[in-house]
Structure 1
């Protein structure tokens, strides 16, 4: 029987030793590290692939899952263990990760706190947006947990995923985001969710008015882009 506990504990220990040898404590705390540059990802990927093919994900306890999710978080920029960078249906690029195993990992990630897990949470949120079409109660609960994370990027991607999957209270969540998160790209994310998924022209117009009063060059560019796109759609409609 595979000793998952020892294997995962050793993988994390060796990775952290590598970090300590190459980065200062402050850089590590701030996550200013080149995760993709770690030279020993291949054995970790091979182990992850064996977990998938052997159907052993359900054997991992909370400690094991926390260690695995730490590695998945640090693997974020590689995008292979969790295929969050692609729009293709596959949930992993190194094995046939089933939806049930994906949900085990996503649910465990939603229960973890600490900045070292932010880069895992955003991967699962992105996959829910790109690769899922139905909002189940379990997915809703996970995404809401991700949304209430202190990490702005995870919150933004989770908001978009909830909008795409038809979360019933998305307008309430959009208002909450707009009024409480004072960050330019988060407001762009709100506009994106309305335009791409909610598809309510009246609501979009309301938020475009609000956005016009906000600072930020990128936000202003995005507002102009949406206005031009909206005018183009109207023009096409009237021509037709």
Structure 2
């Protein structure tokens, strides 16, 4: 009887022992460097801005200082009513209304330069206020915040009413600032947002928005909205102050 019990115990243990001795397969270590090298897809060659009059070779120039031909009035879809200056910039003509690009875009890299008026007038949100909107919906704030505090999610460099910037990186009032924006558009399927958009902003070369997830439209009053949409224009805001812009170019991203 004891012999039978011992044999039975051994038989019952055999599957367990087999499992315990089974090892997870290990990835074979490459024996040649070529095993971890690949050659496709080949990235396209792009002429850098420093070698191409300040504009990357694959960029679309939205404003080169010579005309407003790439822009229209956001109110009438007619001629853009802003002022074209002799120094190669354009300025908000207060009361003329917002303007937007004729072309529409999805995900982009956007470069622009802006400056607030040298003559300081107003305070809070009424000093050097403008804004750049991605897809006509998502605003990055432009404001003269030098010695001029306001609500921090509406200060210069903020994703308006949604994200406080990591730093205030403005130059002196009346001097030129740069914005370099990486925008990945939200994704909608069957009427629902399935992926939030994101914005990264370098203000004068300083990271102030770091891959921020967009909650929805940047509303002045009320909460963000997420109605389905496709591509949209770049919009520049008339907020009653003669803010100036120059050197605007854009690269479409996959």
* TM bin (shorter chain): under 0.3
* Structure number with higher strand proportion: 2
**TM-score, normalised with respect to structure 2:** 0.25
* Structure number with higher helix proportion: 1
**TM-score, normalised with respect to structure 1:** 0.25
